[in-house]
Amino acid sequence: MNRSTGRRLTAAALTVVAMATGTTACSSGGSSSAKGDDSGTYTIWDPYPQFAKGSAWTKLLDACGAKAGVKIKRTGFDTSDLANKTLLAAQQGNSPDVLVVDNPVVSTLAEAGVLTTTDENKLDTSKVDANLLAAGQSQGKTYGTPIGANTLALYYNKKVLTEAGVDIASVKDWASLTAALEKVEKAGKKGITFSAIGTEEGSFQFLPWFWGAGAQLTQLDSTQGESALSLWNDWLKKGYAPNSVLNNTQTTSWQEFATGDYAFAENGTWQLANAEKAGFDYGVLPIPAATGGNAAAPTGGEFVTIPVQDDTGRYATAQKLTTCLTSTQNLYDTDTTLSYVAPTEEVQDKQIAADAKLKPWVDAVRAAKGRTSDDLGTKYPKISEQLWKAVQSALSGAESPKDALSAAQSAVK
């Protein structure tokens, strides 16, 4: 484990590092210098700049530091900036001791040689749900542990469905969902809204349908993938979904649902607080797979990782800090604050006991899948870009679903 971080950075990582030199972090609670002033100070970087000093999150960090007998120097970065800052710090031999990072970025940092494995740092991940842990795995090795997860499901407006004569219990697969949308449209209401924008958000929202058809990201132009894109395409053609989905972010899609005119909206746990404020009775349904059961939706959320250090004597304390942050009680408190579902069954059950409305979200997370799972690692961003381009091309009428996905697969190769 005694190895130079800078030497291990790959060419691909250095390209990202070069891009990072012109960026500015949005920070709270400390400077962006990774190493503390002395060996008794440990640095933690996270993607939560919204949590200022004195917040529950920073108090937790300080408490874990006190338990480990060290002081904490914490910096909160914008999510989009954190990976670049981390790669740059690694190049300079100045990595933070503990890094909390968005789960799709873990494999990029791991392949760049920035992170230690759980075999090396002795983190215990035995209680973590395997499907969630997979987002932090690359080439058979695990890098860190999830602090929590969010994912997608279907919010539904109970009044709209009742007036259209739809029993939500009947919605079990694509056929019954489409039949419900038809009833809603005939009743003069709007069917379903989602985000199909030409960015990662569009891919993120399409994946439950893609995976729910049995498709794999390694073969975008499969018949299963075509059936998923055809489903969305048909919804637009029949007026069950609005053309605005082509430009909708997950935020603007939610705003459409919040008008009270739509029966369904595909969105995430992060909208729970807004759902309570919407002014109408709502429910949540895990996204159904094509022939029934819950589709695998992609996981969001962060991993707590331990970057490579030249001074390997720091790992033991970094491990204590990480273990503290992901203890049962601290996971429960943190995930409640972040509107996350916990990564362990024990804490998930505790969340449901405290709030029964979380049950469908826990079910959705238990069926979820990491975007970089299946050992895709750094291949995922290119695949995702071609996938959202295919969705845009098909839904705009430029190409058929089959041709759009064939072009996407060719581009990936």
Q: Among 152, 82, 140, which residue's Cα sits nearest to residue 303?
A: 82
pLDDT of 232: 98
Burial track 226-259 (b if 16+ CB lie within 10 A, e otherwise) = bbbbbbbbebbeeebbbeebbebebeebbebbbe
Q: Among 387, 366, 372, 382, which residue's Cα sits nearest to residue 206?
A: 387
Q: Measured between alpha carbons, how far is 177 from 388 in angstroms, rounded to an integer?
A: 23
Task: Determine what percent of the chain is predicted with pLDDT higher than 90.
Answer: 86
DSSP state string for 52-66: -TTSHHHHHHHHHHH
pLDDT, average across residues 55-71: 96
For the stretch 350-403, pLDDT in tens is 999 999 999 999 999 999 999 998 889 889 999 999 999 999 999 999 999 999
Q: Measured between alpha carbons, how far is 13 from 87 in angstroms, rounded to an integer?
A: 7
Whether residue 7 is predicted with pLDDT greater than 80 in this model: the reply is no
DSSP state string for 110-127: HHTT-B--HHHH----TT
DSSP state string for 331-345: HHHHHHHHTPBPSBH
pLDDT of 24: 28
pLDDT of 282: 97
For the stretch 113-138, pLDDT in tens is 999 999 999 999 999 999 999 999 99
Q: Which option is the CATH number for 5-149+299-366: 3.40.190.10, 3.90.1300.10, 3.40.50.720, 3.40.640.10?
A: 3.40.190.10
Which amino acid is it at 196? A
C-alpha 265, offset from chain centre: 18
Q: Among 318, 329, 333, 303, which residue's Cα sits nearest to residue 148?
A: 303
For the stretch 33-43, pLDDT in tens is 445 444 799 99
pLDDT of 274: 93
Q: Which CATH architecture has domain 152-297+376-412?
A: 3-Layer(aba) Sandwich (3.40)
Which amino acid is it at 377? G
Q: Residue ranges of the domains in the chain?
A: 5-149+299-366, 152-297+376-412
Q: Measured between alpha carbons, how far is 296 from 350 in angstroms, rounded to an integer?
A: 23
Domain 152-297+376-412 in the same topology as domain 5-149+299-366: yes
Whether residue 19 is predicted with pLDDT greater than 60 in this model: the reply is no
Angle value at C-alpha 164, between 160 and 166, nearest 5 degrees: 95
pTM for the predicted model, two decimal places: 0.85
